[in-house]
Structure 1
Amino acid sequence: MEYDVVQGDIAAQSADALVNAAGTSLRMGSGVAGALRRGAGEAINEDAMAKGPVDLGDVAVTDAYDLDAEYVIHAAAMPHYGDGQATAESIRNATHHSLAKADELGCRSLVIPALGCGVAGFDLREGAAIIGDVIADYDPDTLEEVRLIAYSDSEYDTIQAATETTANPDPNGSPDPDR
């Protein structure tokens, strides 16, 4: 499985599944969740909340509605909004469960944000390194491509630097020198 760091709006990505940076309540508020809700329509928020709450580090799946994906995997890397911050363990577990759920669903492509690194307050560089390590160590069944997405230039630069030792966009195993 290869993965790369890309920049853009997660709601504009095309993949089999998109991962939402969720809290345990699965209520879709701001940040990544807000972007996905705006792109998919309000029904996704109602669907997600009906499947919650979930345990910290766990996931739930909804239809992607108006997004260019089949599924949205809601990964609870942070407690319910206002009830605490993400931890290294919650980010690791949410990332692993997202990959495993995508495999279980038969997905070949997945787009994942820096879980726990927005409103959840976890350091972006450290969180991206954890996510990159989990992706690099994951042994997929169906997943062929994972894109770790950043919204801004500065987020992209931080995530790229944090994952450059684990990112493997080149089938020969060397990081892309043009990034």
Structure 2
Amino acid sequence: MPTITAVHGDITQQQVDAIVNAANNAMRGGGGVDGAIHRGGGRAILRDCIERFPDGLATGDAGWTTAGDLPARWVIHTVGPNYRAGQRDRTLLTSCYRRALEVADELGALTVAFPLISAGIYGWPRQDAIVAAIETITGAATRVVGARIVAFDDATYDQVCEQLSAHR
């Protein structure tokens, strides 16, 4: 079971083996975390996405690319459900975390930084997104030893810390 740490900061600056990207189905970059990762990593990430995912990626699935210019070695892309568009099956959300950890294991990544998948522009209720992340990561059979949940703003960071304390 990985040790989960809450981090207040920018996921693109995390010194870990892999960072997780909350991608869209097209796998060609987008807004929010996806846009920040593509901007920070440079063109190599997009080139790898086009080559590795010519038809995109299904909701709930995950795959990897280079991290380009980012400090991490890999980016693990996962497509969360779009709550605002009616995709409210929680198993799709938990599948994102589970599949990201499976991909991390395939790569040999021991440290992984996660955003709160689907909790941004896709509108998944933040508190449930936090609970889903923590429960899924702690319940996973993985070789990952350290998992970070990276919160960009103070309120989210406080909520993640509170939920981690309650979970212990």
Name the amino acid aligned to 1:100. E
Distance 1:83 1:122, change over 3 A: closer
1:46 Cα deviation after fit? 3.5
The equivalent position to 1:62 in structure 2, one of 62, 65, 75, is 65
More helix, by proportion: 2
| Contact 1:114/1:127, CA 8 A, preserved across alignment | yes
Structure 2 counterpart SS, 1:4: strand
- 1:173 aligns to what? none
The equivalent position to 2:106 in structure 1, one of 99, 104, 122, is 104
Deviates more, 1:90-99 or 1:39-48: 39-48
| Contact 1:114/1:150, CA 8 A, preserved across alignment | yes
The equivalent position to 1:71 in structure 2, one of 53, 69, 74, is 74
Distance 1:117 1:37, change over 3 A: same
Separation in structure 2 between the aligned mates of residue 83 and residue 66 of structure 1, nearest angstrom: 33
Identity %, equivalent residues: 30
Flag structure 2 segments of 5+ consecutive residues without an equivalent: none
Query: Hey, which bits of structure 1, 4+ residues long, moved more than 3 A?
Result: 82-87
How many residues are paired up? Answer: 165
- 2:128 aligns to what? 126
| Contact 2:19/2:114, CA 8 A, preserved across alignment | yes
Relative contact order, CA 8 A, sep 6+: which one is greater? 2
| Contact 1:61/1:74, CA 8 A, preserved across alignment | yes
Name the amino acid aligned to 2:16. A
TM-score by length of 1: 0.84
Deviates more, 1:118-127 or 1:25-34: 25-34
Distance 1:86 1:42, change over 3 A: farther
Flag structure 1 segments of 5+ consecutive residues without an equivalent: 168-179
Distance 1:27 1:84, change over 3 A: farther
- 1:171 aligns to what? none
1:156 Cα deviation after fit? 0.7
Task: Tell me, yes or no, if structure 1 residue 4 matches structure 2 residue 5.
Answer: yes
- 1:47 aligns to what? 48
